[in-house]
Amino acid sequence: MHDETVYPAALRGDCANCFGLCCVALPFARSADFAIDKPAGTPCPNLGEDHRCGIHARLRHKGFAGCTVYDCFGAGQKVSQVTFGGRDRSTAPSAEARRMTEVFPVVRQLHELLWYLTEALGLPAARPVHADLRRALAKTEELTLLPPGELVALDVPAHRQDVNVLLLRTSELVRAGVGGRRKERRGADLMGARLKGADLHGANLRGACLIAADLTGADLRRADMIGADLRDADLTDADLTGAFFLTQPQLNAARGSAATRVPKSLARPVHWTTPA
Q: What is the DSSP string of 46-75?
A: TB-TTSSBTTGGGTTTTT-HHHHT---TTH
Could you give phi then psi for residue 139, rounded to 5 degrees? -65, -45
Residue 3 has pLDDT above 60, yes or no: no
Q: What distance in Å separates the CA atoms of residue 176 and residue 172, rounded to the nearest whole number? A: 6
Residue 138 phi/psi, 5-degree rounding, is -65, -40
Checking if the pLDDT of 58 tops 90, the result is yes
**Quick one: how far is CA 108 from the chain centroid?**
10
Instruction: Say which residue, 182 or 7, is predicted with more confidence.
Output: 7
Band of residue 90 on the pLDDT scale cut at 50, 70, 90: confident
Residue type, 176: A
pTM: 0.92
The rounded mean pLDDT for the chain is: 94
The DSSP output letter for 3 is G
How many residues does this entry show for the chain? 276
pLDDT band at 1 (very low <50, low <70, confident <90, very high): very low
Of 114, 244, 264, the C-alpha closest to 175 is 244
Classify the phi-psi angles of 186: left when phi > 0, otherwise alpha if psi is within -120 to 50, otherwise beta: beta
Write the CB contacts of 85 (distance below 8 Å, at least 6 apart in sequence). Answer: none
Task: Judge whether residue 2 has pLDDT over 60.
Answer: no
Give residue-wise pLDDT tens across range 195-215.
999 999 999 999 999 999 999
Query: Does position 4 have pLDDT exceeding 60, yes or no?
Result: no
Predicted confidence (pLDDT) at residue 274 exceeds the cutoff of 70: no
At 244, phi and psi to the nearest 5?
-120, 160
Residue 42 pLDDT exceeds 90: yes
